[in-house]
Amino acid sequence: MLRYDAGQGYPGPGDPGPAQRGASFFGGGDTPLSTLRQNLTLPRRASQFEVSAWLGGYASQQDGARLSVEFLDSGGTPRGLVVLGPVTAEERSGRTGLHERSARGTVPPGSRTAVVTLQLTRSGGGTSNDGYADNISFTVGSR
């Protein structure tokens, strides 16, 4: 976790990002790949989903954040996959910051588990993994 008031080139309160932000956001640290994963049991009546996240990186570097949701059946067989990001340096206009990405849709039939995975990736230059993420949300509901 990094603080929005850390300075040193990290996203700050004046950089692009969520209007409603807390004190901290996810950063990749000093490793080429950082992964956070959470397995969620889906309610039996889940038929719709929404996923959103603010994803970004540092200046013109291509370090980035990718959020995925994989839907699995009771035996662990994949039923569907949704991917958000990464937000490229070009999409950020070469600025440090985070931009919102979202998706919604139908929960694949037979899905019993959702695996939500955040990957922060260093793509080159520097020793810091400047993939950033904040305000991650995954919700399910029925019609």
Confirm whether 23 is domain-assigned.
no
Report the domain count for the chain. 1
Confirm whether 67 is domain-assigned.
yes
Whether the model pTM is above 0.75: yes
The alpha carbons of the chain give a radius of gyration, in whole angstroms, of 16
- CA-CA distance, 96 to 16, in Å (whole number)? 7
Predicted confidence at residue 126, as pLDDT, reads 77
> Could you tell me the CATH number of the domain that includes residue 76?
2.60.120.260
The yes-or-no verdict on residue 140 having pLDDT over 80 is yes
Confirm whether 82 is domain-assigned.
yes
2-59: pLDDT as tens digits: 999 999 889 999 999 999 999 999 999 999 999 999 999 999 999 999 999 999 999 9
Q: Could you give the strand order of the β-sheet that contains 97-106, starting from the edge strand earlier in sequence?
A: 2-3, 24-29, 129-141, 48-57, 97-106
Could you give phi then psi for residue 77, rounded to 5 degrees? Answer: -80, 130
Confirm whether 119 is domain-assigned.
yes
Parent domain of 44: 2-11+31-141
Find all residues with CB under 8 Å of 92, minimum gap 6, and list them: 16, 56, 57, 99
Confirm whether 25 is domain-assigned.
no
